Chains A and B, each alone.
Chain A
Amino acid sequence: DIQMTQSPSSLSASVGDRVTITCRASQSISNYLNWYQQKPGKAPKLLIYAASSLQSGVPSRFSGSGSGTDFTLTISSLQLGDFATYYCQQSYSTPPWTFGPGTTVEIK
């Protein structure tokens, strides 16, 4: 099975900050990488698919990059509504389609 790791596990940031979250796969997954945002008590929301494609309706301050084993989610200017937990997920080949452990973005 493909294992996913994320760093950091949590971070504190201020409104307006540029935030970068890293996700690493245990083997190459090409660009089969998705990013989700989850707020407490809510279902996850798809932000980025295929490593760098912005899901419809998601603000352009969110961007994704990477290929192979190393991926990045960047929030260019953090807004109040962006404080949440972010998960990467690989959807490469056959299941299990594993999620990363999550990164919590907190208010500094």
Chain B
Amino acid sequence: EVQLVESGGGLVQPGGSLTLSCAASGFTFSGYGINWVRQAPGKGLEWVSYISPGTDSIYYADSVKGRFTISRDNVKNSFYLQMNSLRVEDTAVYYCARPQPVAGPNGYDYWGQGTLVTVSS
């Protein structure tokens, strides 16, 4: 069974840092990339970042570029999102989401349960 489990969320002051983890199981980890998607309280979904299976493709939303870093550990079967210089507007539930293993247009077929990041003084 495919599972994605996020952790690492919490309360942090503006300007602070936090690292989110996404532990994956039930599929061949090295063959998949991952997306991070966030949702501010009461708001819609916002795509944040993507890392490819071989880390040769890494992308960020403009809103987090230069502050967030996505990475993966193929030994620990985990993805990470390091978040620096956090702002109040980064407050959100953060999800990791796996792209479907299909050629061509694809969506995110498995999502974690989400982890809440609150940036507040």
Count of chain A residues near B, Cβ 8 A: 30
* B45: nearest chain-A partner, CB-CB: A99
Count of chain B residues near A, Cβ 8 A: 25
Partner of A99, one of B46, B100, B104, B111: B46
Residues of B at the A interface (CB closer than 8 Å) are: 35, 37, 44-47, 50, 59-62, 95, 97, 100, 102, 104-109, 111-114
Residues of A at the B interface (CB closer than 8 Å) are: 1, 30-34, 36, 38, 43-46, 48-51, 55, 87, 89, 91-92, 94-102
List the count of A-B residue pairs having beta carbons below 8 Å apart: 74
Judge whether A87 and B47 touch: CB under 8 Å.
no
Shortest distance in angstroms between A83's beta carbon and chain B's nearest beta carbon? 17
Residues of chain B lying within 8 A (CB to CB) of residue A1: 62
Judge whether A43 and B107 touch: CB under 8 Å.
no
* A87: nearest chain-B partner, CB-CB: B45
Judge whether B44 and A43 touch: CB under 8 Å.
no
What is the CA–CA distance of A33 and B104 in the complex, to the nearest angstrom? 11
